Structure 1
Amino acid sequence: MDRTERFYKIELLIRTRGAVSFADLMAELEVSRATLKRDLDYLRTRMDAPIVYDRELNGYRFDAAARGGGGDTSHELPGVWFSEREIHALLTMHQLIGGLDGGGTLGRHLQPVLEKLHGMLGTAEVDARELMKRVRILQPALRPVPVRHFEVVASALLRRKRITLTYWTRSKQSESERIVSPLRLVHYRNTWYLDAWCHASDGLRRFALDAVRAAEVMTQKAKEVSMKTVEAELDAGYGVYTGRDIRTASLLFTAAAAQWVASEQWHPKQELQTLVDGSLRMRLPYADDTELLMDLMRHGADVRVESPADLRRKLAERLRTALSAYER
């Protein structure tokens, strides 16, 4: 039984029995006297649990007075405890959230949690702030989202309300007004996207939040679309670009590139086949080839498009154009 389980067991025993002797706790938890003393001390000093020793009952109970009186002897301890390793992992995740959250929206709300984690480590443990200095999350080409827009979208998403968006469409170089029902927030390649039902086009659409010029929550309820439908339509093809015409690309990577590509997930439904010469064949679904072509360009001569023919032709044209521009 690990420490987290012991904390739950101590809480349960005291809550159900009212008072539990030290000997009974040791027997139930199957721990030494020193371990139980440390657990009780940790619960009282770090988790603010009002556990007191009652001489008359010869056992440990919750102090009703600590809750302001009233005779209520029950107590619900905080729902989560973490080991030192778990706290270190959570602090690392906090760094990641800070990187995803350029405007500080999420970080601001999570600050009390972070401070609690620091306190749980205590002075005898590895300094949490020292750990924070030694974790660095690099995010090249980050496209930050204004805090006010992120908060409006996130609020509407949770409250299930429609949003009025002023949106800049890069491909058309034009601005438009949209009324959308928010369905899902997606963070992909250093950019936040909103998956939503667009009431103007009467269909599912994906909006880059950094292209939002203005956002306002409406009073109308959002249209409900099942996550199964959202995933089927927006996640079917490779990358962030969507479409209904799903095709399959067959890509052949050289043995040199295969060392890395074999460990990568380009799409949840990809198929990998390692050939006798060490090369790697990847088959994956895609709808729009924009992002797929950009990723294939990174591999240059280390990848060959086996099919479809139009994808192979487009990649060859891009490589020739890039080479021509380089030679100039």
Structure 2
Amino acid sequence: MNRTDRLYALVEELRAVAPRPRSVRWLADRFEVSSRTIERDLSALQSSGVPIWAEPGRTGGYCLDPSHTLAPLGFTVDEALAMAISLGMLETSPFRDAAISALRKVVAVTDDRSLKETAELATRIHLLDERPANAETRGIGEALRTGHVLQIAYVDRAGVATSRSVEPMGFVGKGGDWYLVAWCRLRDGLRAFRGDRIAEVKLTGERTQRRSLRAEDLGVVQGELRAVNPRGNRL
């Protein structure tokens, strides 16, 4: 990793755990450089205006002020390509519109040369979908965030249509399929609704207290659930 990439990575590492500190020794081990190199890097970032300060004490280290808005950081070619692939895989998900918006932001902070190389590499990668995206499910992500109750028209595997009031609790993705995990008031229990079987979605305007959701409550008998961690693998 060259110095420029390491400076970007240092900021992202501190941002991910803010306001908790990271020690110089921890950062040196993480980036496989000397403690002196990390201290020089942190000093350079501070001089450039990045809001980093030292936290004294045995458990102290360096912290990033989470209240400050930092200038957008660029992506390497590999990072931009990974982001494009990951966001492209959300084409059939309830997060399609947000993924398109996020991809625009990736493009905006990637330099022209890297963007050109990323675009060329992206032409060599294709995603195979079994079915087109279901436009009716795209607003469901908002309901999960806001806590709104949904009224959905759902068609089960036998072709029977029902109208249900549901409290969104989460999502499970499997290949190209996405399932809305919700408390179904009709069945008075936890249910998973496959996205392509949801024919209509309406926000009721009612908000309800968010129910807890544990992996074991889902009763998955095949495969292994993997949680999404936006902070990466290092907590």
Q: Match of 1:137?
A: 127
Q: Match of 2:97?
A: 105
Matches within 5 A, 1:236-247: 236-238=220-222
- Equivalent AA in structure 1 for residue 84 of structure 2: L
Give the SS at the match of 2:75: coil
CA contact (8 A) 2:76 2:114 kept: no
Give the SS at the match of 1:194: strand
Structure 1 residues 122-178: Cα deviation after superposition (integer angstroms, max 9, x where no partner): 227752221221111122x225312xx22331111110110011111232x321110
Question: 1:174/1:88 Cα in 2 relative to 1: closer, same or farther (>3 Å)?
Answer: closer
Give the SS at the match of 1:178: strand
- The whole-number CA distance in structure 1 between the counterparts of 2:172 and 2:206 is 23
- Which structure's CA Rg is the greater one? 1
- 1:168 paired with 2:155, answer yes
Q: Match of 1:114?
A: 106
Shift of 1:79: 6.0
**Which of 74, 88, 95 is 2:88 aligned to?**
95
**Which of 40, 43, 46 is 1:28 aligned to?**
40
Shift of 1:60: 6.5
Matches within 5 A, 1:122-271: 122-123=112-113, 127-139=117-129, 141-142=130-131, 144-146=133-135, 149-171=136-158, 173-228=159-214, 231-238=215-222, 266-267=223-224
Question: 1:187/1:76 Cα in 2 relative to 1: closer, same or farther (>3 Å)?
Answer: closer
CA contact (8 A) 1:162 1:179 kept: yes
Shift of 1:83: 3.1
Shift of 1:180: 0.4
With normalisation by structure 2, the TM-score equals: 0.62
- 1:78 paired with 2:71, answer yes
With normalisation by structure 1, the TM-score equals: 0.46
CA root-mean-square deviation: 3.8
- Equivalent AA in structure 2 for residue 94 of structure 1: L
- The whole-number CA distance in structure 1 between the counterparts of 2:115 and 2:202 is 46
CA contact (8 A) 2:93 2:177 kept: no
Q: Which structure has more helix as a fraction of its residues?
A: 1
- Equivalent AA in structure 1 for residue 168 of structure 2: P
CA contact (8 A) 1:195 1:204 kept: yes
- The whole-number CA distance in structure 2 between the counterparts of 1:170 and 1:194 is 15
Question: 1:219/1:193 Cα in 2 relative to 1: closer, same or farther (>3 Å)?
Answer: same
Could you list the runs of 5+ residues in structure 1 that have no partner in the other structure?
A: 13-24, 31-35, 41-58, 63-74, 239-265, 269-328
- The whole-number CA distance in structure 2 between the counterparts of 1:267 and 1:7 is 33
- The whole-number CA distance in structure 2 between the counterparts of 1:207 and 1:188 is 13
Shift of 1:92: 2.7
Question: 1:28/1:9 Cα in 2 relative to 1: closer, same or farther (>3 Å)?
Answer: farther
Shift of 1:106: 3.6
- Equivalent AA in structure 2 for residue 127 of structure 1: E
Question: 1:81/1:91 Cα in 2 relative to 1: closer, same or farther (>3 Å)?
Answer: same
CA contact (8 A) 2:95 2:141 kept: no
CA contact (8 A) 2:134 2:196 kept: yes
Which structure has more relative contact order (CA 8 Å, sep 6+)? It is 2
CA contact (8 A) 1:167 1:177 kept: yes
- The whole-number CA distance in structure 2 between the counterparts of 1:125 and 1:210 is 34
- Equivalent AA in structure 1 for residue 148 of structure 2: K
Question: 1:233/1:61 Cα in 2 relative to 1: closer, same or farther (>3 Å)?
Answer: closer
CA contact (8 A) 2:183 2:191 kept: yes
Give the SS at the match of 2:90: helix
Give the SS at the match of 1:135: coil
- Equivalent AA in structure 2 for residue 237 of structure 1: V
Give the SS at the match of 2:140: helix
- Identity over aligned pairs, percent: 18
CA contact (8 A) 1:163 1:181 kept: yes
- Equivalent AA in structure 1 for residue 85 of structure 2: T
- The whole-number CA distance in structure 1 between the counterparts of 2:103 and 2:10 is 29
- Equivalent AA in structure 2 for residue 91 of structure 1: A
